[in-house]
Amino acid sequence: MGSTGSIGTQALKIIEDYPELFQAEILVANQNVDLLVQQAIKFEPNIVVIGDETKYNQLADALKTYPVKVFAGASSIEQVVQMDCVDIVLTAMVGFAGLLPTIRAVEAHKRIALANKETLVVGGHLIIEALKKSRAEIVPVDSEHSAIFQCLTGENPYHIEKLILTASGGPFRGKTYDFLKNVTPELALQHPNWTMGNKVTIDSASLMNKGLEVIEARWLFGVPVDKIEVLVHPQSVVHSMVQFVDGSIKAQLGVPNMRIPIQYAFDYPNRSFSSKNKFSFAEYPQLSFEKPDMDTFRNLKIAYECLKTGGNAPCIMNAANEIAVELFLNKKISFIGMPELIEKSLQKIDYIKNPNLKDCLDTDNITRIKTFEISKNIK
């Protein structure tokens, strides 16, 4: 799911490099018909799905001479992840859209290579409950959560003292609030270490990405918020760490490349040989760490507060952030306007302590509408 995005295209390169291990059975994209057609012709999947139903005819016409079934729409995405021909579902769709397909994949007992952090942010409690009734398993793809997952392999979860998520700090590390008032989308998209899609890159610049990862870690690893710490690590080679009760710390290191965690999730518990992406300490003579500035980059503080509040607060935050990022990219609000918009949305949307699936869907929809209205008074 999300084959035309940054994670999806890298995943297909791995499938291409290991044809004896992996095959792309179904490809799902939201709107990028042209690239989806190219991928379908090259990888010959059984099925392709385009999320945007208005693009169905264009996709079907382009593939009419190929033995590929073509579907469209959100309901089709939910259905195909449950098919018997699928062993692993890579959830690399952006944002809230990944929630329902991930729930359906859990219900169908699939392995889920999870790259869509918003799924656990908005419905972590729903996913955990569904996992209890299923033979499904989640292997995280986010580099930070993959690192923690690897560090915890073979460890007693009761021995965890603290999870330490590392953050690059983004393109504005060390900058002041006054500086941030005037940054442009073009500047914010210039990440120093990672190549990602626009939404994730902006989230990284605002530290919202790390806030989402804190909430995701809470659900993935079952630890309370006070046991999850964020450290800024500009070199982005220590992907995250776990501190244990005896004082030991385990870290997972590697070059800043998503290929490694994607391949690990695909082949877990095995490790396929790769001649690429080899890390050398000689190339990184200094590794540094510092505390994040949560007063200047308020989105990280907002995420911690929403996790402590619980209920549908993270769902409100996520929907408001998706609207805020879209508005910032379109130069409708400023960089510092994003956290302001999110905070005002959290104040305006009704709080639900124990949201069910319908509550999450309704909260997301209402938040998007109200956040857009509130944005008209945000600079």
Of the options 2.40.110.10, 3.40.250.10, 1.10.1740.10, 1.10.3720.10, the CATH number for the domain spanning 310-379: 1.10.1740.10
Distances (CA, A) of 103 to 111, 128, 357: 12, 10, 10
Q: According to the model, what pLDDT value does residue 194 have? A: 66
**What is the residue-averaged pLDDT of the chain?**
95
Contact 375, 341 (CB under 8 A): yes
**Distance of alpha carbon 71 from alpha carbon 120, whole angstroms:** 27
**Distance of alpha carbon 78 from alpha carbon 89, whole angstroms:** 11
Side by side, which strands form the sheet with 228-232? 228-232, 160-167, 238-244, 249-253
Cis status of the peptide bond prior to 269, with omega within 30 of 0: yes
Tell whether the model's pLDDT for residue 182 goes beyond 80: yes
pTM greater than 0.95 (yes/no)? no
Residue range 66-73: mean pLDDT, rounded: 97
Which residues touch 297 (CB under 8 Å, ≥6 apart)?
172, 206, 207
Q: According to the model, what pLDDT value does residue 150 have? A: 97
Cβ neighbours of 359 (radius 10 Å): 18
Residues 342-365 pLDDT 10s: 999 999 999 999 999 999 999 999
226 DSSP assignment: G
Query: Coil, helix or strand for 41?
Result: helix
DSSP line for 289-334 = -B---TTTSHHHHHHHHHHHH-TTHHHHHHHHHHHHHHHHHTTSS-
Q: How many residues does the chain have?
A: 379
Q: According to the model, what pLDDT value does residue 274 have? A: 83
**pLDDT level of residue 191 (50, 70, 90 thresholds):** confident
Same fold, 6-140 and 310-379: no
Residues 275-320 pLDDT 10s: 777 889 999 999 999 999 999 999 999 999 999 999 999 999 999 9
Residues 223-259 pLDDT 10s: 999 999 999 999 999 999 999 999 999 999 999 889 9
Tell whether the model's pLDDT for residue 192 goes beyond 80: no
**pLDDT level of residue 97 (50, 70, 90 thresholds):** confident
Give the architecture (CATH level 2) of 6-140: 3-Layer(aba) Sandwich (3.40)
Q: Which sequence spans correspond to the domains of the chain? A: 6-140, 145-297, 310-379
